[in-house]
């Protein structure tokens, strides 16, 4: 699928907008209208190495998506890379670009793309998938805007990782005894960096 890009202007400081977008555990608060069964795949929820998995009920059939944050530059950019489709044969990517056209206003550009690796996946994605994803992404940014501008003070929905135990942290790409959050712009060690898995449906 060719890349789609949706934009939104949010009356909030760029740093605050970035913090919410970069925290993948907070993603259900503004994307659960189309990202179903959302859960973390690593206890790290912020920065390079953070990742999640969710179900997408789209035209052409239900699919699972699993992604990892591969670039996090505060307060400007978050880039995600992952897999979707049958047996994870389709590459998936998303990028959030944040700019500040004027003081106190943040422009968010959300770009999503997929790269099917075989004919069957390309056919599946030709069935109204692009329009479906554009509408859901547009609604997601509108929900993000409302959260940041209205700020009701209520706690946001957050995803968790099931069955996590601290002593088993190395299995999830985090060394025991260290914090789970990576500093923005920091690259995780290769051996500790979760890679997008191959997911089935």
Of 17-21, 42-46, 121-125, 171-175, the poorest mean pLDDT is in 171-175
Question: What is the biggest distance separating any 2 CA atoms in the chain, rounded to whole angstroms?
Answer: 48
User: How many other CB atoms are there within 10 angstroms of residue 148's CB atom?
Assistant: 19
Domains of the chain by residue range: 4-151
Per-residue pLDDT at 24: 98
% the chain with pLDDT above 90: 60
Range 4-151: architecture per CATH: 2-Layer Sandwich (3.30)
* Inter-residue long-range contacts of 185-188, CB under 8 Å, 24+ positions, other chains counted: 185/72, 185/73, 185/74, 186/47, 186/48, 187/48, 188/47, 188/48, 188/49
Lowest mean pLDDT among 7-11, 56-60, 73-77: 56-60
Arithmetic mean of pLDDT, 9-34: 98
Geometric angle at alpha carbon 127, from 122 and 130, rounded to 5°:
85
Summarize pLDDT for 77-127 with one digit per residue, the tens.
999 999 987 767 789 999 999 999 999 999 999 999 988 777 776 766 666
pLDDT tens-place string over residues 113-170: 988 777 776 766 666 788 889 999 999 999 999 999 998 888 999 999 864 444 554 4
């Amino acid at each position: 699928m060719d890349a789609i890009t949706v934009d939104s202007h949010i009356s909030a400081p760029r740093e605050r907008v970035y913090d919410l977008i970069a925290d993948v555990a907070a993603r259900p608060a503004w994307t659960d209208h189309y990202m179903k069964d959302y859960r973390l795949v690593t206890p790290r929820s912020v920065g390079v190495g953070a990742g999640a998995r969710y179900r997408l009920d789209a035209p052409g059939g239900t699919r699972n998506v699993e992604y990892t944050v591969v670039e996090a530059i505060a307060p400007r950019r978050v880039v995600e890379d992952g897999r979707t489709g049958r047996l994870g044969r389709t590459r998936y990517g998303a990028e959030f670009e944040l700019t500040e056209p004027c003081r106190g206003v943040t422009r968010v550009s959300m770009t999503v793309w997929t790269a099917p690796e075989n004919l069957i996946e390309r056919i599946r994605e030709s069935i109204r998938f692009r329009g479906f994803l554009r509408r859901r992404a547009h609604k997601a940014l509108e929900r993000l805007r409302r959260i940041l501008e209205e700020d009701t003070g209520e706690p946001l929905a957050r995803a968790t990782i099931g069955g996590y135990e601290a002593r088993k942290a190395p299995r999830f790409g985090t060394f025991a005894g260290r914090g789970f959050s990576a500093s923005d712009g920091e690259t995780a060690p290769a051996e500790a960096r979760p890679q997008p898995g191959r997911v089935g449906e």
